[in-house]
Amino acid sequence: MSVKKLKPVTPGQRFKVVNNNDVVTTDKPEKSLLFPIKKSGGRNNQGKMTMRYIGGGHKRRYRLIDFKRDKKGVEAVVESIQYDPNRTAYIALLKYEDGEKRYIIAPNGLKVGQSIISGDDNVPTEVGNAMPLSKIPFGTIISCVELRPEQGAVLARSAGTFAQLTAREGRYVSIKLPSGEVRMVLGDCLAMVGAVSNSDHQLIVSGKAGRTRWLGRRPRTRPVVMNPVDHPMGGGEGKSSGGHPRSRKGLPAKGFRTRSRTKQSNKHIIERKKK
């Protein structure tokens, strides 16, 4: 994977950095796994705007991703690596021995024609394979981690992210998450071996405001230029900005912790994420 800096032939291309997409092998998605996406434009069922700065954007179709990897003990061959407009990572199309096709989040280093498998026993620790955390060796780079057995992957799913298995104690294993948090997860939860693909995503520069509009984001008004009635940081004479950074509801931003101290899952967190 690599990025490409364009020649400044137009103002919009002067600072533009795009993904080379040299890993992508086809631009035709699997029709049986496509579903329509209905856009709300930030409006509710009465037509009133309940979310600001949403609207427009290119039309998309959802690719159904297999986050559960519940087809165990059956080998699958990677047919293609594809771009997914709904997420930052690439996706891989798998074809199982019985003919069924499924999409998964593509890990770094996955190649077309490679065989991968999901299961509990005798599954090798190779890129793309899914297995319980209790069967994965210490120090292994993993991604697409479940929080509860058979829930489906919820952790480390975006481009370039990964977790690391650090310890094992009884029914639980300790994993270090992309945020730096160390957390205990049940050993029965599945995880995929390898880091998520498209690690160069963080280097992309849009180059112009229009590309943000294509993604369905409308222009955002800075709170500092609002009036006091609209935002706690509004008001003041000239360029004077108001007080401490906070949300529209007055909740402090920039490091203020909003997690409940009485949350049941707090006992599973060994080390909090770094500030």
* Structural domains in the chain, sorted by start: 3-201 (2.40.50.140)
State residue 1's pLDDT score: 66
Q: 208: how many CB neighbours lie within 10 A of its CB?
A: 15
Name the E strands within the chain: 3-5, 17-19, 34-36, 61-63, 76-82, 91-96, 101-105, 115-116, 130-132, 141-143, 145-146, 153-155, 163-169, 172-176, 182-186, 190-193, 269-271
Is residue 41 within 8 Å of 99, Cβ to Cβ? Answer: no
Q: Which of 37-41, 55-59, 239-243 has the lowest mean pLDDT?
A: 239-243
State residue 61's pLDDT score: 97
Q: Which of 119-123, 133-137, 151-155 has the lowest mean pLDDT?
A: 119-123
Q: Which of 17-21, 65-69, 195-199 has the lowest mean pLDDT?
A: 17-21
Mean pLDDT, residues 187-200: 95
Identify the CA nearest to 89 among candidates 101, 97, 80, 81: 81
Mean pLDDT, residues 151-165: 95
Identify the CA nearest to 190 among candidates 118, 127, 241, 243: 118
The answer to whether residue 242 scores a pLDDT higher than 90 is no
Helices (H), the chain: 209-214
The answer to whether residue 253 scores a pLDDT higher than 90 is no
d(CA 154, CA 132): 15
d(CA 127, CA 135): 15
Strand 182-186 relative to strand 3-5, pairing? unpaired
d(CA 129, CA 78): 12
d(CA 164, CA 143): 8
Can you read off the two tokens belonging to residue 53? 């700065």
Q: What is the mean pLDDT of the chain?
A: 93
239 pLDDT band, cuts 50/70/90, is: confident
258 pLDDT band, cuts 50/70/90, is: confident
d(CA 261, CA 48): 35
State residue 185's pLDDT score: 95
Mean pLDDT, residues 209-230: 93
The answer to whether residue 274 scores a pLDDT higher than 80 is no
State residue 21's pLDDT score: 87
State residue 275's pLDDT score: 65
243 pLDDT band, cuts 50/70/90, is: confident
